[in-house]
Amino acid sequence: MSSVFVSNLRAVITPRTLFRLIAAWLVVVVFQLGGHSWLSQSMPPTVAVICFIVLFVTILMASFGVVGEADELAHQLGEPYGTLILTLSIVSIEVILIAAVMAGPGETQTIARDSIFAVMMIILNLVTGICLVVGAARYGEQEYNTQGALAFISMTVVLAGVALLLPNALGKADGIFTPVQAIMLSALTIILYGAFLLLQTRHYRYQFIQPEPGNLSIRPSTARPAPREQKAVERDKSASGKTIAHAVILIALMLPIVLLAHHLAVVIDYGVASAGAPVALGGVLIAIIVFTPESITAVKAALNNETQRAVNLCLGAFVSTVGLTVPAVLIVGLATGKTVILGISPGETILFALTMTVTTLTYLGQRTSALQGLLHLTLFCVFLMLLFTGS
């Protein structure tokens, strides 16, 4: 058994993947041995800059590796399973980084809120806008499955609305949930998100598959696996072994991110405080680090005319972000006794409403539009303006 696994591992691992594994684990060893003595609130600025660059590049490199392995699994398992693996892997990294920052010594009351809102602006406006524009530039109007897109949007409205808007209307309107509310909200979010995943991969799977040209309304009867897909489902033992090997490599690339998350959190906290930058910038940095690889994958999908995959990545990424991050940070907050502020500012509330309205209108037409892409990009520019001028 072990020899077969080693053989499969050798078959799927590439020189680039091997380099990523060695480099990432080497950085882990270096920081585990000496990081605690280098990183502190009194570290010299030069040390902070060097450590940030090393940690940023390493975590980003490992994230690209995770995306690569998840993409291989996506091709083997088909949609929507492949995209789910990719999205859940990336969001898990985000949860790890946010939890690491929350466990640090700095001001972390709003880090979860800032990260979630930054992901929303980056994924639903910047990445979606780029996908719509570049896809239209190459192919004109592109087709996608409207039912799946609207299912994602409905989940976003409920999960994100409850998490980011409701706290401002409760009690003293200080943007926080009481412990009882936090526990109940975490449970409800987990149940709803779990039910959504179950329905997405079972009964409603057809809603998240690219429609055939000219057939924009895929029904369950036409969504049965094609012979090639059925053959992939009934793959032989060799293919199963390669799937397991890719999964093992994916985990081996995620572990360095977990182990380096705390060190990066210390450096980010130090840098934001030293530069006098907006506190929300820490959340934006986490969003950029985590979602850059998935964003590139979504843009590539749009350029390859795989519009539904781009939709699943963009909209599904934010649903997973809220569905996993909100319960995680609330539980971490309760466990550590730290306050978690989720309510967004009035300016961000308006931007939230505009983003959800435009996103809904974007995916009502069954075909993409470059004009809608420009609207999304404009909203992202407004987000950047508010970030640095106050909201």
Question: Quick check: 64 pLDDT over 80?
Answer: yes
Instruction: Report the mean per-residue pLDDT for the chain.
Output: 81
> Which residues, in sequence order, are CB contacts of 262 under 8 Å at separation 6+?
100, 103, 104
* Ranges 1-10, 94-103, 175-184, 315-324: which has the least confidence: 1-10
Find the mean pLDDT for residues 356-365. 91
Question: Quick check: 42 pLDDT over 80?
Answer: no
Question: Quick check: 225 pLDDT over 70?
Answer: no
Check which CATH number belongs to the domain holding 188 and give it. 1.20.1420.30
Torsion 285-291-293-296 (CA) sign? negative
Question: Quick check: 75 pLDDT over 50?
Answer: yes
Range of the domain at 43: 2-389
> In Å, what is the CA distance from 261 to each residue of 134, 328, 330, 352?
34, 16, 19, 29
Task: Provide the number of structural domains found in the chain.
Answer: 1
Beta carbons of 263 and 35 less than 8 angstroms apart? yes
The whole-number pLDDT of residue 255 equals 85
> Which residues, in sequence order, are CB contacts of 85 under 8 Å at separation 6+?
70, 73, 74, 77
Find the mean pLDDT for residues 257-267. 79
CA distance 231 to 79: 14
CA distance 85 to 135: 24
End-to-end CA distance of the chain: 58
Question: Quick check: 202 pLDDT over 50?
Answer: yes
The whole-number pLDDT of residue 349 equals 94
The whole-number pLDDT of residue 82 equals 67
Beta carbons of 204 and 151 less than 8 angstroms apart? yes
Q: How confident is the model at residue 164 (pLDDT cuts 50, 70, 90)?
A: very high
> In Å, what is the CA distance from 255 to each residue of 24, 58, 95, 261, 264?
9, 12, 13, 10, 14
The whole-number pLDDT of residue 354 equals 97
The whole-number pLDDT of residue 76 equals 74
Q: How confident is the model at residue 214 (pLDDT cuts 50, 70, 90)?
A: low
Both structure tokens of 151: 């299912």
Q: At what angle do helices 237-275 and 2-12 cross, to 10 degrees?
A: 60
Q: How confident is the model at residue 232 (pLDDT cuts 50, 70, 90)?
A: very low
Amino acid at 13: I
CA distance 335 to 289: 26
Residue-wise pLDDT tens digits, 238-249: 567 777 888 888
Residue-wise pLDDT tens digits, 281-314: 777 887 887 778 778 888 988 999 888 888 888 8
CA 358 to mean position of chain CA atoms: 21
> In Å, what is the CA distance from 8 to each residue of 13, 86, 162?
9, 21, 45
State the Rg of the chain over Cα.
21
